[in-house]
Structure 1
Amino acid sequence: MSTRIPAGSDTPPLGVARPPVASPGRDDAPRRRRGGGRRWAWLFMLGWAAQVAVRLWLGSGQTVPVATPDESGYLFAARVLTGGPDADMSYGTVYRGGYPLLLTPAFWISDDPVSVYRFALVVNALISAAMLPLAFQLLRLFQVRKRWAYVFAHVTVALPCVLFYSEFALTDAILPVILVGWLLLVHRWLTAPAPAGRRAAVRVHLAGVGASLLVAYAYACHSRGAVLLVAHGALVVVAVSCRWRSWRAGALALLAAAAGTAAGMLLNASLLPHMYPAGDNNLSGNVVQRLIEARGWAWMLSLATGQVWYQSVATGGVAAVGLVAVAYAVVRPGGTLACSPGRTRALALTVVGIVAAVALATSAALPVEYRVGNYVYGRYLATITPVLFAVGVAVLLRGAWRVPAAGAAAAALTVGAACVVQWYAGDLLTQYTYTGYDFPETSFLTWDWTSFRLWHATLTGLVLLAVAVAAVRLRRRGPLLLAAVLTVVAVGMSVTATERIARPLVRDETAHTDIRESVDLRAQRSIAVDWNVPWTIRLSHYYWAWWSDGSVFDARWTPPPQNVDLVVLAWPKDAPAERSWPAGAPPGWHVADSRRTIEGDWVAWTRS
């Protein structure tokens, strides 16, 4: 039997004695601990600063919302929260106020739209880089050696689900950090020994309250936060029922969650009349309809499977290894995670439940948009991907003889998910609209930014998984080789996605909609945009006219309003710009700008 120490393990195999270690004197031990603590503090400070710098560098070319309508919705919500003008986004998705709250200080510095947008990216960078210490703590929780936990924490922070989305004004930039922070706090609350004194009891209560406030804030940020809120509540109830925590600790945690949720609901309700005066797109109606129809369940299950497939391939199979390991821990917990088997099972079941609930709920709510991203999409599960990735890394580093079995199970999961996607979507994967922004990882894996290739991406992901399994079998350099491969792939995905997806979108959106040189937008206090102008262009006009109340009308049935300062109309193909106003422009109005673009044609009218 081999006695080789598994890569990343702190403990020698059974039957192998530890080498003798010289015991430092009592006077030297505290000094050594203080010196080691200072070194680690510097490592984390410098590492965090480096991650912030990388994010600011990648986002340096972003000046206008391109992930529409999401980015626009959050920016307009921040504007409304600071007392700024309204932006009519009726019949669209409701964007919640939790994330925009972080952007409100931007209005203390500047009221220019580009400056506010850049401030949002700075906020993203500061928070997103905080994944470094959190990922380190998560890997240490899985008993990965300290130095390798630090190395792979950097790899986790470099994943596109953490790095790439920090380049945009999206909740996706902060939700992964919130989820990992919640998981660490709820683990501490759940597994702490029975408090023996006042201080210990306070620490337990603080962990419970902190976890509750984090999930409440996640709920205020995005509907995915509702899944976290339910999972948190269920975990608290189970902990009290199993007597892992006292009823007082459970009641305090639930009270904090309820108070935070109530505050979030009030915040979100305050935005509705300013941004959705005619109502939203009723995504809840989609959920209900699909739950009562057999074809609705087929849609949900297949799209949810496509989301799982995407996270597996996007991480070179490592997240699939993590998902398999978490699912195995539900059946055979084994008392890992420095806690009892029952608590390990509860935590593992919570993670699996979050994956399933997010994938199914988002698939149920998603309207049919005739795009490839309906069937394979990465953003929704990107929130929990860092957790699955960290688990997968721990299995690879510490799994020893289990690594090939875990790799085989992850490969089977990936191929099976790809088969489901192929069976359900079929030719629609090539016939529907391909949006490059939906596929930052798979575009890199297939080296194709114009079309989606299911099996090419699957094969590349499986090759990376095979490389990972083979790398950790090496005696000394395995973990380093694994970290190098995963880092190169992850950074390559974000860099190429920035250069080939994000930057071109910014250039096109600016060229198609920026009218700052032709109109004094600061003097325009209100803007009305024709409903027949494509919604991406409509929201961009709201963005550039940052100081104006934004409203919408349908020029087919309603005359353009004349009680506004700027009107944007759809431009018929066979007419000059001056004839775009139905029945002729009233006196005092003239064409200020006009564009024919691949997204749609429009004419901007202002008063003389």
Structure 2
Amino acid sequence: MTAEAEAIRAADAGRSAPPARRGRVLPLLLVLGWLLGVAWRVWLARHAGMPFAHTDEDGYLHTARALAGGPGGFSSENETLRRIGYPLLIAPVFLPDRDFADTYLIVRIVNAAVNATLLPLAYLLGRRLPGLRRGPALAAATVAATVPAAVFHSAAAMTDAVLAPLLLAWLLAVHRLVERPGPAAAALGGALAGACHLVHSRGLVVVAAYAGLVLALVVRRRLGSAGLLVAVLPVFVAALANEIGVRLLGDTVHLLGNPPAGNDLWAVISGPGLAQVLASTGTQLWYLMVVTFGLAGLGGADAVLRLRRPGDEPGRWTTGVALVVTVGVAVGAEVVLAGVPDRVADAIYARYVQMLAPFWLLVGVGVLFTVAYRSLLRTAAVTVALLAVGGALVHLRLARALAGGAALRHGDFSAPDLAALTGGWQGMRPLVGAAIGVVGCLLLVLVARRRRARTVLLAALVVVNVATTQVIAERLIRPMADVGTPVPAVADLGIRPVDRVAVSTGVPYQVRYNLGHQVTWTEVPWFADRPPATADVVLARWAPGEPGDWDGTRHGFVRLGGDPARKWAAWRRQ
């Protein structure tokens, strides 16, 4: 901790305001902030009555339903990277027999409740890591808790809704373990690392980083054999629980994903493959700096400097571990994705590093408030250079790929916050992103010089975060939900739990999945042209005058209704 941060902590401890009053008000503010955060997150997804982030949502929902004893379905996962942690969390929602729309709403409420814990967790981390006062720590936590990179995913049934707060909790445990090594702290860190592993394959990087930290503490004789045992045991329990859950599911959930092929090795050992991985990794790290307006750059640069700076060992180790996880996740994601057969390379795929945005934003705010101004200017100069050079390199990469006739992919979920900030919905705009990051960073550094303006500065960042998230909701969530929501509902066409239902692959996949979700009582198999002999009702393509229009009368069915605009119809066997 810096001398200025020590002074801040001392001044904070010596304030004359009644401690009892402050002790009562602060928890109340955190609880109120959490409740407001839950309500805001649920409201953001108000237009999405059905899943819109296909096909990941569908796989998690089908797995959760199967874990609750219901019928299975399809999942885009593969055997190698399959995880059941998130489906286990939402599985109880599927236990009562209710309409799928109600079930999906409750799933998003669970997401919102977990995701909104970013506020208290970020507050605790702000108090511990950079040593912020109560007021600035609460303001900084509000900024971190509203960052779109983490908030956006709470609107969908995806693991990312819980990973960001889970990661903050784990880093808090890491700080505690280094500060006061012991079995209790080691067990907490191991449990949270194991939870990360149980939720997503990114947890492997967290587990590896935690294992390195624990071994370092053991070698330095700061942690004994008991601490080592309780640190490792929860990770093994989590891995075993995942394996048991997968075995119990058996073939109930059909996996559509292909396991990583030999391309993984090619991505690491070949020149072009390694260049692709490094370029994609750099793009992800650059993205984190842009969407936090340079704060992640300030935090990352300071973390690198801390590694060689004496003092504040818990802070050095915590940010050092976070650096390892950040780079490890970015590299690991690209290596794994490179192994997907026939995959088109992404201009950016930031989903896997988005869970780290709240942490690095928080560390960056700590740099603004606690580092001497001259040192802050040097750190800001490094950040500005990284933003500018990174934007130029990403621009050149995109232009070169386009000139070679192999334009890089830019999907809806690649980096929705970056698209909202830069207006890059149709394609990535790295130069605009670099400009936003540079200007934002310079403004933050200039304003941070005046203590009284800091609160206004953080309030402005909250407003920007909220506005950006609203743009994402209107430009991405709402239209995608509209396209993929079947009208009328399956129940309105007279389809009941006694019916055995099948769906044609000719139905657009967004609608196909959401039609299947409404059939909660049985698994809905797919067919190409001839429906299964056991099907009482089929949901098939309805596109008059277009190829693939399905005529059910040829198979003895009568049409019940549907929506030719979304290209589907329900047919009942006569």
TM over 0.5: yes
Report SS of the residue matched to 1:438: coil
Partner of 2:375: 402
- The amino acid that maps onto 1:302 is A
CA contact (8 A) 1:524 1:545 kept: no
Match of 1:364 among 326, 335, 351: 335
Alignment check: 8 A CA contact 2:486 2:514 kept: no
> SS in structure 2 opposite 1:290?
helix
Structure 2: which amino acid aligns with 1:540?
A: N
- Counterpart of 2:560 in structure 1 is 592
Residue type of the alignment partner of 2:92: P
Pick the aligned partner of 2:204 from 191, 202, 226.
226
**How do 1:440-519 and structure 2 match up within 5 A?**
440-474=416-450, 476-511=451-486, 514-519=489-494
Q: Distance in 2 between matches of 1:312 and 1:175?
A: 20
May I ask how many residue pairs the two structures share in their alignment?
565
Contact 1:310 1:377 survives alignment (8 Å):
no
Decide which moves more: 58-67 or 476-485: 476-485
Distance 1:505 1:579, change over 3 A: closer
Cα displacement (A) at 1:514: 4.8
- Correspondence for 2:74: 88
Residue 167 of structure 1, aligned match among 152, 155, 177: 155
Specify the alignment match of 1:299 in structure 2. Answer: 276
Does 2:126 correspond to 1:134?
no
Structure 2 counterparts to residues 19-34 of structure 1, below 5 A:
32-34=18-20
Q: CA distance change for structure 1 residues 472 and 410 in 2, over 3 Å: closer, same or farther? A: same
**C-alpha contact (below 8 Å) 1:220/1:268 kept by paired residues:** no
CA RMSD across the alignment: 3.1
Q: 1:114 aligns with which of 101, 105, 110?
A: 101
Q: Are residue 52 (structure 1) and residue 42 (structure 2) matched?
A: no
Cα 1:470–1:8 change in 2 (3 A) is farther
The match for 2:62 among 56, 71, 76 is 76
- Residue in structure 1 matched with residue 360 of structure 2 by the alignment: 388
Q: Does the residue aligned with 2:73 lie in a helix, a strand or coil?
A: coil
The correspondence for 1:439, drawn from 372, 391, 415, is: 415
1:187 corresponds to which residue? 175
Aligned mate of 1:213, from 191, 205, 212: 191
Among 394, 417, 423, the alignment partner of 1:421 is 394
Q: Deviations over 1:296-331 (max 9, x none)?
A: 21221111111112111111111121111222222x
CA distance in 2, matches of 1:432, 1:291: 20
* CA-to-aligned-CA distance 1:198-225 (integer Å, 9 cap, x gap): xxxxxx3222212211121211111111
Secondary structure of the residue aligned to 2:131 is: coil
Distance across 2 between alignment mates of 1:156 and 1:575: 49
Secondary structure class of the residue paired with 1:169: coil
Distance 1:298 1:603, change over 3 A: farther
Is 1:354 aligned with 2:325?
yes
Q: Distance in 1 between matches of 2:32 and 2:445?
A: 31
User: Residue 319 of structure 2 aligns to which amino acid in structure 1?
Assistant: A
1:11 aligned onto 2:7: yes
Deviations 1:399-419 (A, max 9, x none): 122111111111222223223
Q: Following the alignment from structure 2 to structure 1, what is the Cα–Cα distance between the partners of residues 134 and 317?
A: 26
Pair 1:464–1:288, CA change in 2 (3 A): same
Contact 2:543/2:564 (<8 A) preserved: no
Contact 2:56 2:75 in 1 (8 A): no
Which of 310, 313, 317 matches 1:334? Answer: 310
Instruction: Report the Cα distance in structure 1 between the residues aligned to 2:543 and 2:175, rounded to whole angstroms.
Output: 60
CA contact (8 A) 1:371 1:434 kept: no
> Structure 1: which amino acid aligns with 2:135?
R
State the TM-score, normalized to the length of structure 1. 0.85
Q: TM-score, normalised by structure 2?
A: 0.89
> How far apart are 1:54 and its partner, in Å?
1.6
Aligned partners of 1:569 and 1:604 also within 8 Å: yes
Letter in 2 for 1:305: G
Distance 1:406 1:513 in 2: 57
- Relative distance call for 1:326 and 1:268 in structure 2 (3 A) is farther
Q: Quick one: structure 1 residues 56 and 383, their matched pair in 2 at CA, closer, same or farther if it must change by over 3 Å?
A: same
How many angstroms does 1:185 deviate by?
1.1
1:74 touches 1:170 (CA, 8 Å); kept in 2? yes
Please list every run of 5 or more consecutive structure 1 residues that lacks an aligned counterpart in the other structure. 1-5, 194-203
1:217 and 1:18 map into 2 onto residues whose CA distance is 38
Instruction: Trace 1:28-43 onto structure 2 (pairs within 5 A).
Output: 32-43=18-29
Q: Percent identity?
A: 28
1:201 is matched with which residue? none
Compared with structure 1, are the counterparts of its residues 303 and 519 closer, same or farther at alpha carbon in structure 2 (3 Å cutoff)?
farther
Q: Secondary structure at the match of 2:492?
A: coil
Bigger shift: residues 99-108 or 281-290: 281-290
Paired position in structure 2 for 1:3: none
**C-alpha separation between the residues in 2 aligned to 1:7 and 1:123?**
42
Note the C-alpha offset of 1:486: 1.2
Name which of structure 1's ranges 378-387 and 537-546 shifts more when overlaid on structure 2: 537-546
Which deviates more from structure 2 when the two are superposed, residues 428-437 or residues 284-293?
428-437
The C-alpha deviation readout for 1:128-180, integer Å capped at 9, x for no partner, is: 11111110111112111121001111111010122222111111111011111
Task: State whether residues 49 and 101 of structure 2, in contact with CA within 8 Å, keep that contact through their aligned partners in structure 1.
Answer: yes
Which string of whole-angstrom CA distances, capped at 9 and with x for unpartnered residues, describes residues 56-98 of structure 1?
2222222111011111111111100011111034786865321
CA gap of 1:53–1:91, structure 2 versus 1, over 3 A, is: closer
In structure 2, the residue matched to 1:264 is 242
Asked if the contact 2:190–2:234 (Cα under 8 Å) also holds between the matched residues in 1, the reply is yes
